[in-house]
Amino acid sequence: MESQFGIVDYVVLAAMLTISSSIGLYFRFSGGRQKTNSEFMYADGRLSAFPLACSLMSSFISAVTILGVSAENYSYGTMFVVNNVAYAIGVLISTFLFVPVYFNAGVNGAYQYLDKRFGKATRLTGSVAYSFQMVLYMGMALYAPALALETVTGMSKFYAILGVGLICTFYSTMGGLKAVVFTDVFQSLIMYAAVMSVIVVAWIEKGSLSEIWRIAESHGRIEFNNFSLDPTVRHTWWGIILGGTITNLAVYSVNQGQIQRYISAGTLKTAQNSLLLNWPMLSCLSLLTSFAGLAIFSKYARCDPFMTCKIDRSDQLMPYFVVNSMQHIPGLSGLFVSGIFSAALSTISAAMNSMAVVTLEDYIKPLYKKMRGKSFPEHTSLYAKLVSVMYGFVCVFFAFIADGLGSVLQVSLTILGVVGGPTVGLFTLGMVFPTANQPGALSGFITSLLITFWLGFADKPAPIKLPTFSDGCPETTFGNMTLPQLDCSSALNTKRSPDEYFYLYRLSYMWLSVFGFVSCVVVGLVVSWVRNIFGKKSLKRPDPSLFIPPVAFYLKRKYQINERFLEETKAAFEMKDKIAEDKTDTEELKPCLSVSA
């Protein structure tokens, strides 16, 4: 594919990267200069709702989402748009049920909560699973923009991965969480502009937005009414709502990176406002990205680049459209690549910062105290910065091995579902069920992880794409000869029939998080029940501050009733004892009274 990335495009891309790096430098040399762990990791709890909302949105919408969702709507139709309903459910549950717990419990992170609720073993198990998940996801998030840069500019994926990884590591390490959040504000605008540029160019080419919709509808791309109960169907209302909600809870309710942002707000109200403000931002960009996929389809409806061997991955569709339709306008290609870079930088920087916190709080500090016999020094952020640099290199390494894993969207959602579902189940056991204990929580979590890893990474049938066509492609001539069009469609359909696979391997990836969540909660409750009956009973009452507000209210009310009952019972016994004493005194006085008479 011939690239025409011009000087203006490079200037636009360089400007975006320079501004992102400058924000990191600004926060490095302003304020407290990121010298303490509190400022580096939590911004001293002084961030306001709007920048936090932008950061929550941009760290969720990665380059994986922009490239993957547009390709999803192109290849499989609009059914995935229903996920916006799951966004709403997930955000509301997170805002009013999960987030208050972290403030009421007085913790600075997700896994510190697990320590207070269950114990150190659960905390360590949860943080190890999170670390594994985020390392894999960071690799995919870095690979996606490298793929776009290679397609649009012709730059090697090797240098693209290395460049994005180093820039992200630089500003995350220099400026801490403040730099990450305020860079996210700038990068959110760039992401919107990049997606809008694709839609506007297609709009101009087709003459109207309604024409884009008509072409998509006439080719079977518009679908919102799949209510099938069959879990092997890739996208249905039930699979997307249930699976999407749990995946969103994994991101917004129990993800260390997002909880770190809530704590940096300083107050519960600010954290809740930022999460609610993030919701329309997130859905708006998601809907625009979905429509961008239809806009791209309007150009290639009768000349699919897969069938003509122009591209070999669905994630290359949007970059390929940029090469075909936008490079004659100076700067637009640069804007698009900047948007993809921005999406990647915001996601990776958030992950790196949260991984630094988890590594420092859950691994280094306990080990330091055990070896040195004293607490870890809090007055310096050097160790947190070194850990961030380490994860930058780890992220680059995993990006290099992501090439053979398939669609970036499906692989990324599989990674989130495999660990996210069990993690939501683990925190649900802690925050919703007072009878749950550490043996039950660990048993449920480990069992569900084994199930989701088995189902998530098993050999699965390739998803069946909607029909594509190449009958509208222009003829290729060589001299006076007309050459036949290349047809790669047969090469794309060489895998086994889905019916040849074991039934559980045919389940939609959207159900992974559901199975992980349900299996964790069910096994956890059963083991906890058995342990409570046959094991040593704990005399300690559950702390209401460690539970979601409705359960906390119930526990407080229960304790008040029990305490009132105990006080009344105690008073009744005291009264009974007093009456008995008075009766005894009367009996003793009777002989004396009879003598005197």
User: Can you give the CATH number for the domain in which 302 is found?
Assistant: 1.20.1730.10
Q: Is residue 8 part of a domain?
A: no
Final residue in a domain of this structure, among 374, 389, 404: 389
- Global confidence as pTM: 0.84
Other C-beta atoms lying within 10 Å of the C-beta of residue 349: 34
Side-chain half-sphere of 264: how many Cα atoms within 13 Å? Answer: 34
How many domains is the chain built from?
Answer: 2
Please check whether residue 378 lies inside any domain of the structure: yes
In a domain, 508, yes or no: no
Domain boundary among 356, 389, 422: 389
In a domain, 81, yes or no: yes
Last residue of a domain, one of 389, 412, 441: 389
Mark 350-377 as b/e (b = at least 16 C-beta within 10 Å): bbbbbbbbbbbbbebbeebeeeeeeebe
DSSP 111: H
- Residue 347 domain flag: yes
What tokens does 115 get? 């320590």
Residue 102 sits in which domain range?
48-389
32 is a domain residue: no
How many angstroms separate the CA atoms of 347 and 395, rounded?
Answer: 12
CB atoms under 10 Å from CB of 68, counted, come to 27
Enumerate long-range contacts of 458-463, CB under 8 Å, 24 or more apart. Answer: 458/502, 458/504, 458/505, 459/501, 459/505, 460/501, 460/505, 460/506, 461/495, 461/496, 461/497, 461/498, 461/500, 461/501, 461/505, 461/506, 462/495, 463/76, 463/234, 463/410
Residue 237 lies in a domain: yes
Q: What sign does the CA torsion over 170, 174, 178, 179 have?
A: negative
Question: Do the bridges between strand 476-478 and strand 481-483 make them parallel or antiparallel, or are there none, so unpaired?
Answer: antiparallel
Rounded distance between C-alpha atoms, residue 306 and residue 10, angstroms: 28
Q: Is residue 21 part of a domain?
A: no
Print pLDDT tens along the chain (597 aa): 455 677 888 888 888 878 777 776 676 666 544 455 555 565 566 788 898 898 888 877 767 778 888 999 999 999 999 999 999 999 999 999 999 999 999 888 888 999 999 999 999 999 988 888 888 777 777 777 777 777 777 777 788 788 777 877 776 666 566 767 777 788 788 888 889 999 999 999 999 999 999 999 999 999 999 999 999 998 999 999 999 999 899 989 998 888 888 988 889 999 999 999 999 999 999 999 999 999 999 999 999 988 888 887 777 888 889 878 887 788 888 888 888 777 777 777 777 777 877 888 788 878 877 787 777 766 556 777 788 788 888 888 877 776 655 555 566 667 777 888 999 999 999 999 999 999 999 999 999 999 998 988 788 887 888 898 888 887 654 344 444 455 565 544 555 677 788 888 888 888 989 999 999 999 999 999 999 888 776 657 888 999 999 999 998 888 777 666 556 566 665 666 666 666 665 665 556 555 555
Residue 191 exposed, middle or buried by CB count within 10 Å (0-12, 13-18, 19+): buried
3-state SS assignment for residue 489: coil
